[in-house]
A = this chain, B = another copy of it.
């Protein structure tokens, strides 16, 4: 395909490198840049140290990217070194940008008023955030620190604060400027989702179809496969993408050709039909309910759940017959069925969805190994139960069971 322009990212902050804080900005920025048609080539995390930040910056500039995003270290404490290093590496003097100064003063007054502090006591300190390398265009701040954009030969350098909520609030302005100045390519992105096959089975389906103008990414996660297509907005590329989607849908169990997740499909279907669902969870222990309730407004269609982790709870909270548990065990098609049906009856929901399985690490046997899972869906037209053996550790088995339950519900909802 038309080669995508390259983007690179430099993230500063020692807290990202000692296990204290898990990165969020790098993931956000790289995903957004990819979505807007850039190929993210390299991402560097540098500790708060001039030498490390300068080394990272120089290496990234040496790759001659179209865009270099630098984030973090724009505050007012001794370890906020980013702007000074940028100025030195790019050979630009620092000057007090009047636009930036006005914004910093406004924001400082607003924050001080909210906290009941006299702004004059902190103004000298916050003024430092208006010292920018010469030639910068200011990105208005979401917190106290403005960001800035400057052109350095073929590279557009974007510098932003590292507080994730601030960075995410300021980012749309940056994307708009990259689009307006023609740095960001005009691309389309499409995602096809597949459930029930492995990555190995996707590759052959892609082999028989042209994709010279479409950049394809295949990701496997918890039994689902996502095939993403990025392409320049032109008829030939669009035609190729359409052919790829059609080929995948013909060969494989594709459940989404418009990027919608199984969560979205289930939520929209239930809401449009004014139907509801409740859950009975054993091995997933609350994760299925948590995934439903992760969506704002989910109380429209999600009634509630019973987490019957101990066998006693299956009897007392859910009323699973003692005989079923005794004869078939907690991890069985019969118990899963009873759980789904009891959840439906107890809550009056349209559908009851149940999980039971052996998440490990212990509790497995030759007969019922770790990873053995039953999911069941009870609805107006009867009850379906599905047996599967899931790979991976406790966390992976639990997460994949939640996904399996959602897909069983999606299939039960299919017209």
Most buried by B among A14, A15, A42, A287: A42
User: Are B305 and A286 in contact (CB-based, < 8 A)?
Assistant: yes
Stretch at the interface among A26-34, A83-91, A128-136, A379-387: A26-34
Q: Is A306 an interface residue (CB 8 A)?
A: yes
Residues of chain B within 8 A (CB-CB) of A157 are none
Shortest CB–CB separation between residue A207 and chain B, in angstroms?
13
Q: Is A293 an interface residue (CB 8 A)?
A: yes
So how many copies of this chain end up in the complex?
Answer: 2
Residues of chain B within 8 A (CB-CB) of A26 are 23, 45
Q: Is A313 an interface residue (CB 8 A)?
A: yes
Which of under 10, 10 to 19, 20 to 34, or 35 or more describes the interface residues of A?
35 or more
Among residues 279 to 311 in chain A, which have CB atoms less than 8 Å away from a CB atom of chain B?
279, 281, 284-294, 296-299, 302-310
Known: A17-B40, A286-B291, A289-B307. 9 other contacts (CB 8 A): A19-B31, A42-B56, A44-B45, A55-B62, A284-B293, A290-B290, A304-B308, A305-B307, A306-B317
- Chain A 220-233 interface mask (CB, 8 Å, partner B; 1/0): 01000010100000
Residues of chain B within 8 A (CB-CB) of A17 are 30, 34, 40-43
User: Are B18 and A40 in contact (CB-based, < 8 A)?
Assistant: yes
Residue numbers of A with Cβ under 8 A of B are 14-23, 26-27, 30-32, 34-35, 39-47, 49, 52, 55-56, 59, 62-63, 165, 217, 219, 221, 226, 228, 278-279, 281, 284-294, 296-299, 302-310, 312-313, 316-317, 346-348, 360-362, 392-396
User: Are B309 and A298 in contact (CB-based, < 8 A)?
Assistant: yes
User: Are B20 and A42 in contact (CB-based, < 8 A)?
Assistant: no
Shortest CB–CB separation between residue A348 and chain B, in angstroms?
7
User: Are A46 and B42 in contact (CB-based, < 8 A)?
Assistant: yes
C-alpha gap A17/B383 in the complex (Å):
42
**Which residue from chain B places its CB closest to the CB of A317 in the assembled complex?**
B304
Shortest CB–CB separation between residue A164 and chain B, in angstroms?
10
C-alpha gap A392/B18 in the complex (Å):
24
Out of B41, B45, B296, which one reaches A52, CB within 8 Å?
B41
C-alpha gap A62/B361 in the complex (Å):
43
User: Are A18 and B42 in contact (CB-based, < 8 A)?
Assistant: no
Shortest CB–CB separation between residue A43 and chain B, in angstroms?
4
Q: Known contacts A52-B63, A304-B317, A316-B346; is A31 also within 8 Å of B43 by CB?
A: no
Residues of chain B within 8 A (CB-CB) of A45 are 26, 42-44
Out of B19, B63, B296, which one reaches A55, CB within 8 Å?
B63
User: Are A317 and B346 in contact (CB-based, < 8 A)?
Assistant: yes
Shortest CB–CB separation between residue A211 and chain B, in angstroms?
16
Shortest CB–CB separation between residue A196 and chain B, in angstroms?
18
User: Are A293 and B304 in contact (CB-based, < 8 A)?
Assistant: no
Residues of chain B within 8 A (CB-CB) of A305 are 286, 305-307, 309
C-alpha gap A299/B19 in the complex (Å):
30
User: Are A52 and B47 in contact (CB-based, < 8 A)?
Assistant: no
User: Are B42 and A52 in contact (CB-based, < 8 A)?
Assistant: yes
Out of B284, B291, B347, which one reaches A316, CB within 8 Å?
B347
C-alpha gap A291/B39 in the complex (Å):
37
User: Are B15 and A217 in contact (CB-based, < 8 A)?
Assistant: yes
Shortest CB–CB separation between residue A405 and chain B, in angstroms?
13
